[in-house]
Amino acid sequence: MRTDGEPTAAKRVVGVVGGGIAGLTAAYRLSQAAQQQNLPLDLKLLEATDCIGGLIQTTTENGFVMERGPDAFITIKPWAFQLCQDLGIADQLISPNPNFPRSFIVRAGKLYPVPEGFYLMAPTALWPFVTTPIFSWRGKLRMAMDLFLPPSVPDTDESLEDFVVRRLGREAFERMAQPMIGGIYSANPKELSLKATMPQFLQLEQRFGSIIRALVETMSARRAGGVRYSIFRTFPAGMRTLVDRLVQTLPSNSVQTKTTVIGLRRQQGEDGGQTLPEWEIHFDDGQSLAVDAVCLALPAVQTAKLLTPLAPEVAKLLKTIPYASLATINLAFERSQIGHRLDGMGFVVPAIENQSITACTFSSLKFPHRAPEGKVLLRAFAGGALQQDLLERSNPDLLESVLSNLRQLLQIEGNPIFSRTTRWTASPQYHLGHLDRISQIETGVSKINGLELAGNAFHGVGVPDCVRSANQAAEAILRHLFS
């Protein structure tokens, strides 16, 4: 506490640009530190649209709770869960329905359960693997060869496709790894860097010599069909709860929506013995804001635009991170319209099946409170790097193609009660060389005082990864300003 005669420390101002989960978390961490450590810090969160949350968008209509973007986060990467704990909302979190801990995969236009014990690309349980119709006998034998193949040279940046084909064969890749893993990243697996996305598989290969042996040894305690559903969490009212709580905790007037940042300028110097703020942030309405530090929590292409005059080399590298477009289509049905038992969380569709959808979540079966009694909410995905052309269709045409797939796969009769299509150009593609590119970007940014980057373009696309990047950005800014 200040005593009389002690000079008042000048307030430092931080501008956080981008109101997605990364920007919100950075702003929250900064304001939390200011409160807890009594730091003289003012904060502005600047968001281009009229809506905070970025890709996290939950809407409720007629009793259906629809996720337009993420529908849950994982807890094995602890940062999002930790954030919920710090916000005092962790006790509200819910897990997927334990009655249906499995998903399906499409083969020849039909749904089959992912064999029990199968983890993303390889089996860990013998009998379900031997009996599944998802793979041919030849494919199964080729997968078993993984037990005898030597490991690769460590530290190579191999694509997901090359890795899986080398270890487990083409069929394992086409029928399982492509839809299961490529789907998470909306990516072309031929270009997706395994080291940047799933480095654990490379480490397991080096340690155990075989992916199957590694998974059997490390996963035997937690078997499940495809993924471990108990690691997912969301809120009864959807992911929006996290965004709303973050906004609630920020100081009043610190969040400014409908403000597109179009320029960043560094200014240095002193005015009458006072150190000037180092940065000026320029908005699209001609206004500007002087700040001492900036956190850019934006898609890479937006960050690149702002950094072009300041750090052209960094901007050039940021521009090389491509983004894929995708659409989510929420569809509301009467339960009686759907012939399938819906006894799972949803299904994925291998690209070789040539369907219009890449996956579909049985949203109201996966989580409670998503649809009124007697009704069902489905969420289909379309697009991604392998099917960009599909997104050139109009919304009604896209919906018709999606519905024709769903009618056949889930034995659906008639039209949905309603549907909502959301289009995103939002999936950063971690192509081969991604980690080297990011390391060069980070080296470039570290030379610019008072600038930090956060968000999904760098070290992981999941909500927990974005939270972690924001934690780190906030810590770096606090160090810069107050130590």
Ligand X SMILES: Cc1cc2nc3c(=O)[nH]c(=O)nc-3n(C[C@H](O)[C@H](O)[C@H](O)COP(=O)(O)OP(=O)(O)OC[C@H]3O[C@@H](n4cnc5c(N)ncnc54)[C@H](O)[C@@H]3O)c2cc1C
Q: Nearer Cβ to ligand X, position 144 or 301?
A: 301
Q: For 444, phi and psi rounded to 5 degrees?
A: -60, -45
Nearest residue to 426 via CA among 10, 29, 56, 61: 56
Q: Nearer Cβ to ligand X, position 119 or 430?
A: 430
Q: Nearer Cβ to ligand X, position 23 or 96?
A: 23
Q: Quick one: tokens of 245? A: 């709580």
Q: Nearer Cβ to ligand X, position 100 or 232?
A: 232
User: Are 33 and 39 spatial neighbours (Cβ–Cβ below 8 Å)?
Assistant: yes
We find the least distance from the C-beta atom of residue 290 to ligand X, in angstroms, to be 17
Q: Quick one: tokens of 334? A: 């009467």
Q: Nearer Cβ to ligand X, position 177 or 467?
A: 467
Nearest residue to 136 via CA among 144, 147, 124: 144
We find the least distance from the C-beta atom of residue 303 to ligand X, in angstroms, to be 9
Residue ranges binding ligand X (CB under 6 A): 17-23, 46-49, 54-56, 69-73, 260-261, 297-299, 302, 326, 328, 424, 426-427, 455-456, 461-463, 466
We find the least distance from the C-beta atom of residue 254 to ligand X, in angstroms, to be 15
We find the least distance from the C-beta atom of residue 180 to ligand X, in angstroms, to be 14
Q: Nearer Cβ to ligand X, position 194 or 298?
A: 298
Q: For 340, phi and psi rounded to 5 degrees?
A: -65, 150
Q: What is the CA radius of gyration of the chain?
A: 24
We find the least distance from the C-beta atom of residue 31 to ligand X, in angstroms, to be 17
Q: Quick one: tokens of 337? A: 């319209």
Cα distance between residue 164 and residue 400, in whole Å: 34
Q: Nearer Cβ to ligand X, position 32 or 206?
A: 32
Q: Nearer Cβ to ligand X, position 106 or 243?
A: 243
Distances (CA, A) of 329 to 233, 346, 395, 441, 474: 21, 14, 10, 35, 35
We find the least distance from the C-beta atom of residue 42 to ligand X, in angstroms, to be 18
Among the residues of 8-63, which ranges form H helices?
21-37
Cα distance between residue 17 and residue 280, in whole Å: 12
- The partner residues of 288 in beta bridges, in order of sequence, read 282
Q: Nearer Cβ to ligand X, position 92 or 152?
A: 92
Distances (CA, A) of 464 to 70, 219, 331, 345, 460: 11, 22, 27, 21, 8
We find the least distance from the C-beta atom of residue 439 to ligand X, in angstroms, to be 19
* DSSP E strands, 38-171: 41-46, 58-61, 64-67, 73-74, 104-107, 110-113
Q: Nearer Cβ to ligand X, position 140 or 266?
A: 266
We find the least distance from the C-beta atom of residue 379 to ligand X, in angstroms, to be 9
We find the least distance from the C-beta atom of residue 47 to ligand X, in angstroms, to be 5
| Spatial strand order in the sheet of 12-17 | 255-256, 41-46, 12-17, 293-296, 451-453
Indicate the SS3 state at residue 328: strand
Cα distance between residue 24 and residue 45, in whole Å: 8
We find the least distance from the C-beta atom of residue 293 to ligand X, in angstroms, to be 16
